[in-house]
Amino acid sequence: MTKKIAILASGGGSNAEQLMRHFEQTDCAEVSMVACNRKEAGVYAKAAAYGLECKHLTRADFYESDRFAQLLIQEKIDLVVLAGFLWFIPPAFIETFRGKIVNIHPSLLPKHGGKGMYGHHVHEAVKAAGELESGMTVHWVNEKYDEGGIIFQDKVALLDTDSPEEIGRKVLVLEHKNYAKVVEKLICS
Ligand code: GRF
């Protein structure tokens, strides 16, 4: 039975794109839904390029009701994959999909995670801390920001001349290299 993946994104969607590309060529699972909470996000166009209509996620559907959760249940989604999704996941949603929500974070958690630590904020903190390496973490999502069990990490050496932007570029390469394969191992084995 082909497993079904729902991707939640808020931004450019480069991780979502890698996931859609990977699962277009993988029989055991498919990306059957992409949803986004920001109308101007690039992920809408990326989903359309893969024949998927990115669903607009509203606060009414996600926080003020369980309509989105019910939609995922109705669609028989097996795994919820966060890919640059910036909204906090409400406890009721976590409860409904416990053990079925993963996230990718652009640092070697538990370092440089937590509320407000996303995108360039993470790489600026890594730079300010004088880290000799950074990387990416795939983790289970629970009620606390970026504190769910770690599933996979990959790392890259940093030069002291690396800007936060360069750190971000090095980490994004690792994200694109690993996320889809990690998700495949989780859902297809
Ligand atoms: C990535 O850096 C990811 O680690 C973080 O948000 C960013 C998403 O980028 N969660 P994109 O929208 O997938 O290009």
Give residue-wise pLDDT tens across range 126-184. Answer: 999 999 999 999 999 999 888 899 999 999 999 999 999 999 999 999 999 999 999 99
- Ligand 1 atom closest to the Cα of residue 41 is 12
**Whole-structure pTM value:** 0.96
Burial 137-150 (b: 16+ CB within 10 A, else e): bbbbbbeebbebee
- Which two tokens mark 176? 């694109």
Please write down the long-range contacts of 85-90, taking CB distance under 8 Å and 24 or more positions apart: 85/8, 85/9, 85/10, 85/37, 86/10, 86/11, 86/37, 86/118, 87/10, 87/37, 87/57, 87/62, 88/145, 89/141, 90/62, 90/63
pLDDT at 166: 98
Averaged pLDDT for residues 114-136: 96
pLDDT at 3: 98
Distance (Å) from CA 104 to ligand 1 centroid: 7
Residue 13 beta carbon below 6 angstroms from any ligand 1 atom: yes
Distance (Å) from CA 13 to ligand 1 centroid: 7
Parallel/antiparallel/unpaired status of strands 150-157 and 101-105: unpaired
Q: Which of 32-36, 45-49, 143-147 has the lowest mean pLDDT?
A: 143-147
Q: What angle do CA 82, 163, 44 make, to 5 degrees?
A: 30
pLDDT at 145: 81
Averaged pLDDT for residues 108-120: 95
Do 149 and 139 meet the contact criterion of CB atoms below 8 Å apart? yes
pLDDT at 144: 87
Residue 32 beta carbon below 6 angstroms from any ligand 1 atom: no
Q: Which of 14-18, 53-57, 116-120, 143-147 has the lowest mean pLDDT?
A: 143-147
pLDDT at 15: 98
Q: Which of 7, 42, 37 is nearest to 22 (CA)?
A: 7
What count of Cα atoms within 13 Å lies in the side-chain half-sphere of residue 108? 15
Which residue numbers are catalytic? Answer: 105
Task: Look up the CATH superfamily of 3-104+137-154+175-188.
Answer: Formyl transferase, N-terminal domain (3.40.50.170)
